[in-house]
Amino acid sequence: METNTKTYKSLILAKEIVIEAKQKFPHNVCVRGRLTPEERKEIEKECSIATSSFAYKDGTKLYYIRWKGDIRW
């Protein structure tokens, strides 16, 4: 039960990241942390993800996330 709840919460966080990326397009959203495979899959449906070339001492990374869509003027 614990893992199902944890996965559900992480997917909600992934959806919030996608919403923020849409709002900040064409700029990147910077997220520091650890993305699970489920979170990456959810985010990559609508966004591109680039990671920094290093990890922090606590094991986290810096992710640059940009929405794939474009705005029609």
Average pLDDT over residues 62-66: 91
Could you check whether the bond before residue 37 is cis, i.e. omega within 30 degrees of 0? no
* Domain spans of the chain, in order of start: 2-67
User: Which two structure tokens, joined as six digits, stand for 26?
Assistant: 């064409």
- Which one of 1.25.40, 3.30.1370, 3.30.43, 3.60.70 gives the CATH number of domain 2-67? 3.30.1370
Phi, psi angles (nearest 5°) of residue 68: -80, -20
Q: Which band of pLDDT confidence, cut at 50, 70 and 90, is reported for residue 71?
A: low
Map residue 70 onto helix, strand or coil.
coil
For 11-46, what is each residue's pLDDT tens digit?
788 889 999 999 988 889 998 888 888 888 989 998
Residue 46 is given by DSSP the state T
